[in-house]
């Protein structure tokens, strides 16, 4: 007898029932649907070769294909046997096929699905795993989907899973759990998909019912959106950036300085310098806190200084004298610095236009300009009077702002 024949004979011998098996075999011949007998039979052959035990499981499942207990024990045993093997090993492929056969009858059992999906995720079989996840979501009731989604999201965040696949899965997930939008946004940022991240964040901010699971305030989310837009303007070209950021500015009375500077920075990065300057000016003329004003003013100053520096370097390298343009930029910066006290005074008066002391301070900003002083006092009188006026007795008002300048008028 040759070696191959001897090996084949040994395999057959291992699979044939022994004298000790006759008791179980006779009982099962009389009643092949006795689950307890099959379980005792398999348990009694704990030390038998794997192929013999697998054969027992297969025979039992042929008689009882709907037994969860048998399928669970069989799959667990085969799963333990392939631990540490490569994904392309025949035993691993055989295990996958066994799971597929099990799901014919066990498709309503979430544990079978989860074990199989974990196996596919470990094997990094992207397409097969994705399709199996979709099958599981279709087969199981929605009340059990949360267990699947935990593993599904873990799977799509793995290296090697195409970003397009992950995006489609996340969009589907957010239809079920919209409050987890921040998790999706974090994923998009990690994958440098800034346009999609900005659009989703804008959608979240437009939803008044949204509550951050990470404990972020609406203002913090707006700042996050501003950061994305300003740092990645080319990827958000399809968005109505100006309208979106102005919508955020209208929602807040203070802490809007960052929003104004972000909008201006967006135009700066796109090379639209005049538009950026207009945004800075609008921001300075509308903020109502000194902190916000300082943010906008400092950003505008830095912007003008950078333009001036770039022009000076360009003039130093160029052969053509462009002194007029350089002088214009320098004059613009000096004019901005000279306007700071007046702009700051306007901010304080927007907080409380009935602050008489501040109106007096504002007049002193124009010592050599009587006409400007007259216009300032006139504006003060027009703004209001009565009990809201401060620093005056109750019977007085802004009309009591008398001065030699007003007398000359």
Q: What is the pLDDT of residues 220-275, one digit of tens each?
A: 999 999 999 988 988 988 889 899 889 889 888 778 999 999 999 999 999 999 99
Nearest to 239 by CA among 199, 207, 292: 199
Looking at the predicted structure, is the pLDDT value of residue 409 above 90? no
Looking at the predicted structure, is the pLDDT value of residue 2 above 80? no
Q: Which two tokens stand for residue 244?
A: 């979106």
Q: What is the pLDDT of residues 176-206, one digit of tens each?
A: 999 999 999 999 999 999 999 999 999 999 9
CA–CA gap between residue 36 and residue 47 (Å, rounded): 19
Q: What angle do CA 168, 172, 175 make, to 5 degrees?
A: 145
pLDDT, residue 318, reads 56
pLDDT, residue 228, reads 93
C-alpha separations of 134 from 87, 143, 152, 207, 338 in Å: 22, 15, 9, 29, 66
Average pLDDT of the segment spanning 43-55: 88
Residue pair 225/244 in contact by the 8 Å Cβ criterion: yes
Residue pair 357/350 in contact by the 8 Å Cβ criterion: no
Query: In 10 A of CB 112, how many CB atoms?
Result: 20
The pLDDT-based confidence of 147 (bands split at 50, 70, 90) is very high
CA–CA gap between residue 306 and residue 288 (Å, rounded): 27
Residue pair 148/133 in contact by the 8 Å Cβ criterion: yes
> What pTM does this model have?
0.75
pLDDT, residue 394, reads 35
Looking at the predicted structure, is the pLDDT value of residue 174 above 60? yes
What DSSP string describes 235-259?
GGTTS-HHHHHHHHHHH-SSS-HHH
The pLDDT-based confidence of 4 (bands split at 50, 70, 90) is very low
Token pair 């008398």 is found at: 402
Q: Which two tokens stand for residue 301?
A: 């100053």
Averaged pLDDT score across all residues of the chain: 86
DSSP state, 355?
B
CA–CA gap between residue 10 and residue 256 (Å, rounded): 82
Which contiguous run of DSSP H or E holds residue 54?
Answer: helix 50-63
Q: Which two tokens stand for residue 92?
A: 């691993």
Q: Which two tokens stand for residue 262?
A: 């972000």
Looking at the predicted structure, is the pLDDT value of residue 280 above 80? yes
Looking at the predicted structure, is the pLDDT value of residue 216 above 50? yes
Token pair 């005056």 is found at: 392
List of residues 6+ apart from 406 with CB closer than 8 A: 374, 377
| 350-356: long-range pairs with CB below 8 Å, 24+ | 350/287, 350/288, 351/288, 351/289, 352/390, 353/383, 353/384, 354/383, 354/384, 354/385, 354/388, 354/389, 354/390, 354/398, 355/390, 355/391, 356/380, 356/389, 356/390, 356/391, 356/392, 356/398, 356/401
The pLDDT-based confidence of 80 (bands split at 50, 70, 90) is very high
Report CA Rg, the chain. Answer: 38
CA–CA gap between residue 117 and residue 68 (Å, rounded): 17
The pLDDT-based confidence of 401 (bands split at 50, 70, 90) is very low
CA–CA gap between residue 122 and residue 129 (Å, rounded): 10
CA–CA gap between residue 19 and residue 17 (Å, rounded): 7
pLDDT, residue 112, reads 97
The pLDDT-based confidence of 1 (bands split at 50, 70, 90) is very low
Query: In 10 A of CB 337, how many CB atoms?
Result: 11
Token pair 């039992």 is found at: 60
Looking at the predicted structure, is the pLDDT value of residue 391 above 50? no
CA–CA gap between residue 381 and residue 374 (Å, rounded): 11
Q: What is the pLDDT of residues 293-313, one digit of tens each?
A: 999 999 999 999 998 888 888
pLDDT, residue 321, reads 53
> Which has more pLDDT, 281 or 373?
281
Residue pair 304/285 in contact by the 8 Å Cβ criterion: no
CA–CA gap between residue 185 and residue 171 (Å, rounded): 11
Q: What is the pLDDT of residues 349-386, one digit of tens each?
A: 888 888 888 888 888 888 888 888 888 888 888 875 54
CA–CA gap between residue 233 and residue 236 (Å, rounded): 5
How many Å from the N-terminal Cα to the C-terminal Cα in the chain? 130
pLDDT, residue 82, reads 94
């Amino acid at each position: 007898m040759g070696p191959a024949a001897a090996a084949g004979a040994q395999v057959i011998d291992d699979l044939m029932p022994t004298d000790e098996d006759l008791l179980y075999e006779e009982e099962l011949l009389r009643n092949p649907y006795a689950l307890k007998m099959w379980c005792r039979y398999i348990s009694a052959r704990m030390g038998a070769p794997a192929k013999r035990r697998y054969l027992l499981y297969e025979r039992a499942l042929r008689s009882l294909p709907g037994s969860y207990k048998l399928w669970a024990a069989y799959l667990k045993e085969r799963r333990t046997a392939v631990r540490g093997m490569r994904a392309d090993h025949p035993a691993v492929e055989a295990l996958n096929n066994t799971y597929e056969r099990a799901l014919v009858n066990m498709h309503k059992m979430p544990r079978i699905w989860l074990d199989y999906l974990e196996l596919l995720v470990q094997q990094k079989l992207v397409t097969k795993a994705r399709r199996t996840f979709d099958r599981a979501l279709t087969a199981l009731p929605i009340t059990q989907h949360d267990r699947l989604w935990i593993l599904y999201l873990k799977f799509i965040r793995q290296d090697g899973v195409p970003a397009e696949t992950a995006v489609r899965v996340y969009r589907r997930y957010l239809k079920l759990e919209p409050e987890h939008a921040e998790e999706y946004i974090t994923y998009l940022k990690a994958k440098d998909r800034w346009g999609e991240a900005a659009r989703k964040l804008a959608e979240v901010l437009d939803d008044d019912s949204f509550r951050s699971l990470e404990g972020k305030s609406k203002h913090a989310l707006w700042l996050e959106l501003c950061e994305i837009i300003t740092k990645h303007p080319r990827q958000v070209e399809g968005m109505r950036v100006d309208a979106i950021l102005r919508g955020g500015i209208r929602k807040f009375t203070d802490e809007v300085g960052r929003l104004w500077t972000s909008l201006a920075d967006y135009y700066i990065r796109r090379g639209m310098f005049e538009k950026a300057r207009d945004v800075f000016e609008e921001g300075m003329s509308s903020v109502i806190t000194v902190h916000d004003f300082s943010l906008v003013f400092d950003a505008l100053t830095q912007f003008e200084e950078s333009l001036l520096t770039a022009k000076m370097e360009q003039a130093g390298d160029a052969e053509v004298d462009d002194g007029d343009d350089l002088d214009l930029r320098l004059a613009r910066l000096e004019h901005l610095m000279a306007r700071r006290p007046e702009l700051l005074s306007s901010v304080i008066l927007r907080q409380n236009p009935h602050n008489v002391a501040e109106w007096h301070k504002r007049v002193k900003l124009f010592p050599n300009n009587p006409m400007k002083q007259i216009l300032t006092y006139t504006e003060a009188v027009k703004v209001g009077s009565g009990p809201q006026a401060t620093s005056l007795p109750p019977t007085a008002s802004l009309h009591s702002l008398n001065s030699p300048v007003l007398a000359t008028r």
